Amino acid sequence: MTTAPPMPAPQVPSPASEGPPDSGIRPLRALLQQARPYRLVLLGSLLLALAASACGLVQPLVARAVLDALADSTAVTGALVLLGVLVVAGAVLTGFQSWWQQRTSEQVVRSIRRGLVFRLIRLKVAELDSRPPGDLVARVTSDSALVQNAATQGLVMITNGALTVAGAIVLMGTVHLGLLGVTLAVLLGTGALLGLILPRIREAVARAQNSVGAIGAALDRSLGAARTVKANGAESRETAHAEAAIEEAYEAGLTGAKYVALVQVLSGVAIQAAFLAVLGVGGALVASGDLDASQLIAFLLYVFYLASPIASLLGGLGMLQQGLGAIVRIEQVRHLPAEDDVDPTGHTAPHTERSTPAPPVEFDAVHFAYPGRDPALRGVSFTVPGATRTALVGLSGAGKTTMFALLQRFYEPHAGAIRIGGQDIALMPRVEVRRRIAYVEQESPVMAGTLRDNLRYAATGAGDEEIAEVLRLTRLDSLIAGLPDGLDTEVGNRGVTLSGGERQRLAIARALLRRPEVLLLDEATAQLDASNEQALREAVDQAARRCTVILIAHRLSTVTDAEQIIVLEGGGIRAAGSHDDLVGTDTLYRELAASQMLVPAVADRPPGPDARLAL
């Protein structure tokens, strides 16, 4: 099987090549879709922002009235009070709008993350096989934050900025059309330059986010195999592995920062240039008597006032570009094939006593190949009668674990059918197939959490008595009795505080507690001492009275009493029968048995190195 792969030589991750395909993804459309459910709330936020802007927008007009009143020596109190009210109202509205917007933005990111987590946990096994988990995690944590800002704050800033600029332009037109023409000429010239820069921000962000994913992937690889790294003195190589991605993220971040700074410089220069142009042309008009000084002052105030909405517009466009760079990575995950027929509520089946007899399991001319590999199974056919034990034996890589994977619909056969109780599993929802099966993996994975969490993982409804019974059967009762917190003891990350044999017994206890119709054991007792192994064999024999057991074993001594033993070789069945039959009829089986001292050595063909390796 699919044992943990050896650590390959460190290499610089290639983020772009690790990502799923992005053809057909329309970033702007996807981003707007994220904002769509919140459009009314965002509209509210926009209205607040506009109201705050309006307070600012009329201030130059009121200021002009103050100036005119001062020039005409009329009362200024009313205008001054109005100016004060506008300033305070503008500040209060801005504060409220900011809170409202942040709230919406948190709601958007929550929704994106929920959607991604839901999808990731349901991705098909074949997809998960080829994607580094660290990169997938980065998409949930980091990319979503960039989209969050773009889909809320960015969109509001763009709309608010654009509307305010438009409003200011209209008002400036009422003050003086000629000066408006001068202002627009300067601003449009700068806008053309910005059109060239903004897409570069998006490219830089996409590159930086791919690198953030690669950092996650590199760390996941190193921390997931921390003991292997330390035992091999590979800390420097692993650090270098992550550093390459960190460096790439840094470079991309710098490029993005450069363009963002350029945008800020341009927007500042545009305002200054417009101010100077208006001052020059307007000053000449005032000198020639074609323009009042108060008109020029009001116009210049508008030019300065434009700085804020233009900054908002450009800031929003910058955020949008960042979001567009990140949304592609999120959409890639949303386009990956997922299992859509697993338990929609996410709860495991309640623990119930089964009354139906254990079903037979049948493989019928099953063919299967992993992507890009030679066939792992080549037309395999056999039947496991209900309530019996069948052992799969054979050299390493013969296809035994692949059969278990197909039986649980982790992958689909390319040809042939697998039946449980006469029903083709391809026609059953995956949740139904998996509900009938309990699987003890080769690695006996234990989840972080307490012993009780782990036991109940597959049977949420299991009561204390049933738990006590499986603990006794798997001889975990004495271990638990010695722990101060008993079943509430934390097992640590991946069950690291337990021994290999304890993890294996815990995995078997979990499977037994589920009372499955079909029990799959993949090398489930390989790490047990002789006494515990005997106890576990008895537990499995007992389970076999009410369920169909298929077990993979390299140690033949553990399966000699199975009703049926199937010998696999190169993805096909070489022989099948009882231990006594096979010793007499199959040379490979006899060699395997002889190499384990179960039968006298074969005189004319001693066990080869392959056989010893497999065992």
Task: Note the residues at the interface with ligand ATP (CB under 6 A).
Answer: 1-2, 129, 370, 373, 376, 396-402
Among residues 573, 192, 236, 223, the alpha carbon closest in space to that of 380 is found at 573
For residue 568, the minimal CB distance to ligand ATP (Å) is 7
Among residues 514, 227, 553, the alpha carbon closest in space to that of 400 is found at 553
Of 378 and 494, the one with the shorter C-beta distance to ligand ATP is 378
For residue 21, the minimal CB distance to ligand ATP (Å) is 19
Of 2 and 534, the one with the shorter C-beta distance to ligand ATP is 2
Among residues 395, 396, 511, the alpha carbon closest in space to that of 445 is found at 511
Of 374 and 604, the one with the shorter C-beta distance to ligand ATP is 374
C-alpha–C-alpha distance, residues 257 and 252, integer Å: 9
Of 400 and 515, the one with the shorter C-beta distance to ligand ATP is 400
For residue 606, the minimal CB distance to ligand ATP (Å) is 22
For residue 401, the minimal CB distance to ligand ATP (Å) is 3
For residue 614, the minimal CB distance to ligand ATP (Å) is 7
Burial of 545 (0-12, 13-18, 19+ CB in 10 A): exposed
What's the residue count for the chain?
A: 615
For residue 131, the minimal CB distance to ligand ATP (Å) is 12
For residue 369, the minimal CB distance to ligand ATP (Å) is 8
Task: Answer yes or no: are the C-beta atoms of 367 and 414 closer than 8 Å.
Answer: yes
- The dihedral built from the CA positions of residue 31, 35, 37 and 39, taken in this order, carries a sign that is negative
The neighbour count for residue 128, using CB atoms within 10 Å, is 15
For residue 399, the minimal CB distance to ligand ATP (Å) is 4
Backbone phi and psi for residue 598, each to the nearest 5 degrees, phi listed first: -85, -25
Of 403 and 540, the one with the shorter C-beta distance to ligand ATP is 403
Q: For residue 70, what are the CA distances in angstroms to 59, 73, 225?
A: 16, 5, 78
Strand order in the sheet with 423-424: 375-384, 361-369, 415-420, 423-424
Burial of 198 (0-12, 13-18, 19+ CB in 10 A): middle
Backbone phi and psi for residue 402, each to the nearest 5 degrees, phi listed first: -60, -35
Q: For residue 95, what are the CA distances in angstroms to 99, 164, 319?
A: 6, 18, 20
Residue 417 in tokens: 């059918």
For residue 398, the minimal CB distance to ligand ATP (Å) is 4
Residue 160 in tokens: 């608010």
Of 3 and 236, the one with the shorter C-beta distance to ligand ATP is 3
Residue 224 one-letter amino acid: G
For residue 356, the minimal CB distance to ligand ATP (Å) is 30
Of 164 and 401, the one with the shorter C-beta distance to ligand ATP is 401
Of 2 and 264, the one with the shorter C-beta distance to ligand ATP is 2
Of 370 and 457, the one with the shorter C-beta distance to ligand ATP is 370
Of 508 and 520, the one with the shorter C-beta distance to ligand ATP is 520
Backbone phi and psi for residue 420, each to the nearest 5 degrees, phi listed first: -120, 125
